[in-house]
Structures are given as structure tokens and as C-alpha cells.
Amino acid sequence: MKLYFIGFITSLFLIYCLSASAQQNVSSENDFNLYNTQVKLINSQIVEDTFHIYISLPDGYDAAEKSYPVLYVLDGDISYGIAASISRYLEIGSNIPELIVIGIGYGAVDKDAGKKRNRDYRTNDAGGAENFKKFISEELIPYIDSNFRTITTNRTIAGYSLGGLYALYSLFTQPEVFNKYIIGSPYLLPANFIIFDYEEQATSTLGNVNAKIFISVGSEASEEKYFNPIDELVTIMQDRNHPDLKIETKVFDGSTHLDGPPEVITHGLIFVFDE
């Protein structure tokens, strides 16, 4: 049992949505004034769908010449604003470096977006998470890296609940894409906890991976759905003793499942960027 309690006061947030892609299939929506945000519509040939990509550049980006780490946020239609706000707040105090923040969304928070979320974050016979993974690595990231000054060796992925499940899937199946992971209250139940099989299959691969992983759960989250499976997976991962895999775990005291996103982003960012 290797989870530890901390206390933290936050607001209540819901979570939904996600996905993105291809450089030659990009259009723009009207920009809106949230932390220098641009909105791009990217048509993925792999997923065969269009994703809303929210892009926040640091203040002074246009006047600077340096490159920046990139934070990719799943459930972007609702989580992007949280992540961009908290990132800029932490940057003021030099808790983290300046980041380019990317939200991956569907343009809405509704039942249709929920269906797409289930399509993209779970493994299934139709491609599911595998297609979404290819979209990120073969369509979205190349577009971002070719259009913005990014540090290509410093990418973070942040996912909550079902998004946290996908972030784990990405770690276990394609660990070279991201070197930092912020995983909040991952929902491990789909496909009869198949994520445990992916973890086992990745044992030899992760022995050579240098990455920082933050995993959390709320103390008041369902033990059956969240707390116990997460605790079991974390214990297995830590017992592997991968030399360059640094794992930090937190139990947010008093938090239910839906309380978690702000505190996960806050503590996750501080951990993964702590030198």
C-alpha cells in the first residue's frame, strides 16, 4: 500500500470529451481571449473525426525565441480552462516553467461528446484508444511541433478518470511519446481491468524509460471503482522498481471522484516539473 494522504480545498468540476489530428486538415475558429488561446479544428484521417484543439501560448511568446515544454490535456472542452489557468498561476511563482498548453476536445460537453470519449479512451475492437494514440503521435503532435516552438523531448499528458485510463495506456504502449504523466483518479474497470495486462506486457519496456508519473485518487471515491484498483496498480508499478521511472502518488483527503481535477493538475504539474 503505497498511497499517501494530503489535504486540499477545491471546487467541483465535471469531466467529459476528447481527440485531435492532421496538419493538412486544419482550420481555425474565432480565437477567444483566455490565456492567448487559439482554437484549431483538426480533421483526423485516422480517427475519421474532427477535434477541437485549444492552444494557449505563454505571455511574450511572439517576442521570444526560446522553445517551450508542452502540456497535452485530455477532456479539453472542460479541462483545458482549468489546466491553462493553473499553469499560468504556477508559472507566476516559478513553480513550473512556462508551458504551451494544448487541450484536446470535441467542441461540446454533451452525450455525443461522451460517446466519442468512450470511443477514444478505451481499447475496443474498432480501434479505440489505439487509433486515438496514432492520432496524437502521427497527426496532432507533428502539427504542434511544426507550427510552434516546442521542446520535443519535454511533453506532458494529463488525463482524469477515463482520460487517466488512456494516459496509462499511452505509457504502457508508447512510452517514447511523453516523458511526464499527470493521471487523476483513473477509471480502470473497462474491459475487465485490461490495463493491468498492458502494464504487465510493458514490464521490460518500462525498464528503459525515463519518465515522471503522478497518480492520484480521492479518499471518498468509490473503493470498488477507483480507490482499490488504483492502489493495486500503483503498488504493482512501484514494486517493479524501474530505475528511471519516478512515481508520485497522492490521496486527496475528503475528495470524491468529481472533486479532483484542479488539485490533480496543481500537484501533478509541480511534481513532474520539480527538478
Least confident range from 33-42, 84-93, 163-172, 231-240: namely 33-42
Reported as a single tens digit per residue, the pLDDT across 243-273 is: 999 999 999 999 999 888 999 999 999 999 9
**Domain enclosing residue 43, as ranges:** 5-272
Interhelix angle 261-272/76-92, nearest 10 degrees:
50
Domain count, the chain: 1
pLDDT tens readout for residues 31-81: 556 768 999 999 999 999 999 999 999 998 999 999 999 999 999 999 999
* Nearest-5° Cα angle at 38, 136 to 152: 40
Residue type, 224: E
pLDDT-derived band at 127 (thresholds 50, 70, 90) equals confident
pLDDT at 21 (0 to 100): 34
Residue 16 has a pLDDT of 33
The per-residue pLDDT for range 178-198, each reduced to its tens digit, is: 999 999 999 999 999 999 999
Contacting residues for 200 by C-beta, under 8 A, at least 6 apart: none
Q: d(Cα 182, Cα 115) in Å, to the nearest integer?
A: 23
CATH code for position 156: 3.40.50.1820
Asked if the model's pLDDT at residue 86 lies above 80, the reply is yes
For residue 153, is pLDDT > 80? yes
Element (H, E) at 117: helix 111-121
**Given a cut of 70, is residue 10 above it in pLDDT?**
no
What is the reported pLDDT for 28? Answer: 64
Question: What b/e sequence results for 246-270 when a residue is b if at least 16 CB atoms lie within 10 Å of its CB, and e otherwise?
Answer: ebbbbbbeebebebbbbbbbbbbbb
